[in-house]
Amino acid sequence: MKDSPNELAGAPNGFQIAKAPTGIRGVDEILFGGMPRGRTTLVAGGPGTGKTVFGLESLYRAALAGEPGIFVTFEEQAEAIRRNARVMGWDFAPLERDGKLLFIDAEVPTDLVQSGEFDIGGLLAILAGQIKALGARRLVIDAVDALLRIFRESHRREEQLLTLHDWLRQKGQTALLTMKNGGEVPRARLNFEYMADCVVLLDQRIIGQVATRRLRVLKYRGSGFLSNEYPYIITSGGIVLLPISSVELSQQPFGPKFSTGISGLDPLLSGGFSRGSCILIGGASGTGKTTLACSIATAACSGGERVLYVSFEDSREGLVSMMRSPGLDLGQQLEARRLQVLTAIPEAKGVEEHLWRILQAIDAHKPQHLVLDSISACHRMGSEEAAFDFLVRLLMHCKARGLTCLFVNQTGPAQPIHEISGIGISSLVDTLVVLEQDWPDESHRRRLLIVKVRGSPHSHIYHNFQITGQGIQVDDAAPAPSVRQEQRL
């Protein structure tokens, strides 16, 4: 997924409008620094998209940074908002005591509205007093559509909306207003989209029976922005818009080679795999892909390095048990905390939740190497497009940090080498190793072929290998498979 910068990346003579960071992970990158300072931003979306969380988190992060703010709510009571925020680990009490944060329950008496005696002027006067007393620089008005809904005539709604817009402009507040999509006041929302300086749309949709939230910046006066749709999730710590692919590639150059720890394989690779590269091991069921990946992971751990092994196929206990047969002691590496095994059922979560969980594990474990077994299971996250998006973003994240990625992929018996990834990422792979097997003369034989190694000489012929009680052993060159054997494979 490539980002599409809006054509206005800046202004003439290098002038840039002042920005107010939201503090929300990933959002400020899309907004090229944050919301317009001293101006109005509209966040609109349907139910469950996180509009309130968006406004609340931006205010909370600003208050932590010393910038006072006020949160005005027309639907939820302030105490309910405080309770919900504690689930995310946000404690507002110290900020409220220190005068950095203020909640206002702005419930409007319906009898005044029905008698025609109400407009928002009185509410704005109260709010102006609170802004002055607190020295507030940020203002969030949550569910402004709930305020407008009490005015039955459309012209009254538009009058009040214009009054609010003019008042916000005069006060010079960095204001964020949330509003629902659709409902009883669609025209009011459309009008405010024209008035607001920045408009952010939140959406939630079901793709392949998996719910996905996406964010899009509709407009931003005086600033460039990234205009694609971007997936995001609501976590226990707030909103996370997961790493985006920059218009510029930022991967680190390959590092020195490291040993595979497999007898006979290193010479075929001119000394081993390159650090920071992406390695794909492909092959049909039973060819030894997981054993090869675990052998490489064990060798790295034995050398004092850390490995994160992400398994979509086997449980941690199952993997440890299976690897005892070829003489690999994963349990020892787990106890030494050099190896961490992260397991998941692909169907259990959407792409964003899987990706965020892995990135959190990378931050916590700080591995030098990542193993993903297997990428063919990623299809079960929803679709081939979702699997491709997941793998590309994970790979770009790892490459930018210099991590070695080792992807395992189970292929069909007749899958061509140039389609060995099955998900279309072959062009992003630096090293491709294909494992094959056949049964000539009623015996089971395995062989490997190193298809490519970027930036390094390597063997170009098939080699037999065996899985023994002491690990994998690569033998001398093997004859290339016959046409009949290739058809059978």
Residues carrying an active site annotation:
75, 313
Question: Which of 195, 193, 215 lies closest to 204 in space, CA to CA?
Answer: 215
Question: Which of 51, 48, 17 lies closest to 34 in space, CA to CA?
Answer: 17
Put the strands of the sheet holding 138-142 in their side by side order. Answer: 101-105, 69-73, 138-142, 174-180, 40-45, 198-207, 210-220, 230-235, 238-241
Residues linked to residue 435 through DSSP beta bridges, in sequence order: 283, 448
Dist CA 226 CA 240 (whole Å): 16
Dist CA 55 CA 24 (whole Å): 10
Q: For the CA atoms of 145, 151, 153, 157, what is the dihedral angle to 10 degrees?
A: -50
Taking CA atoms, 389 is separated from 153, 243, 383, 386, 420, in Å, by 47, 11, 10, 5, 18
Q: What are phi and psi of 291, to 5 degrees?
A: -65, -40
Pairing of strands 278-283, 404-410: parallel
Dist CA 45 CA 19 (whole Å): 23
Return the SS3 of 483. helix
Dist CA 99 CA 244 (whole Å): 36
| Count of other CB atoms within 10 angstroms of residue 221 | 12
Q: Where are the alpha helices (DSSP H) in 65-109?
A: 78-87, 93-97
Q: What are phi and psi of 314, to 5 degrees?
A: -130, 155
| Count of other CB atoms within 10 angstroms of residue 328 | 23
Q: Which two three-digit tokens encode residue 233?
A: 């999730």
